[in-house]
Amino acid sequence: MVVEKLMNTLDKLLQLHENLYQVALQKTDYLKQNNVEELKELLKKEQMFAQAIKQIETERIQLSAEFLNREQDLTLSACIEKAEGKHKEKLEQVASDFSKTMDKLKAANQLNRELTHQALQFVSISLDMLMPQENITNYQRPDASNAPSDKLRRSLFDSQA
């Protein structure tokens, strides 16, 4: 009975990760289109999925501990080793699906990271073009930038006296 609950929990977890992958694909499109408002809404949705994954993962850990009768090494691989028959096959299939989904999710997130970095570089370059720094090409005395004007500057020896 515990193994069936565990498999249901793993199915939920896999579905949430697949949904997160779909969100990552949408994020890629919005980044390409520079659609900031939709991107903000999508980030809220992404946070919702991340929170749900965290909750289901906690449930998976509890069920894995109950199934394996231990508190350590509560991995899917350990569950596969202990399972038998059709349950073992189902867990192996879930593990394979998880691996594929996680690889796709990592690739999509890497692409989104690169697109975000490029967008930030573009903004930085645009700002530099709008507000260029003044480069002084003439020679100046090193202390001229913070020295008071000549009229205010007096030497210690007043020769006009």
The full set of domain ranges for the chain reads 2-130
How far is it, in rounded angstroms, from Cα 19 to Cα 48? 11
3-state DSSP helix/strand/coil % of the chain, to nearest 5: 75, 0, 25
- 66 neighbors 2 (Cβ within 8 angstroms): yes
Tell if the pTM clears 0.85, that is, is over it. Answer: no
Write out the chain's pLDDT in tens, 161 residues: 899 999 999 999 999 999 999 999 999 999 999 888 999 999 999 999 999 999 999 999 999 999 999 999 999 999 999 999 999 999 999 999 999 999 999 999 999 999 999 988 888 888 777 776 666 666 666 665 555 555 555 555 555 65
Helix (H/G/I), strand (E/B), else coil: 112: helix
How far is it, in rounded angstroms, from Cα 113 to Cα 150? 54
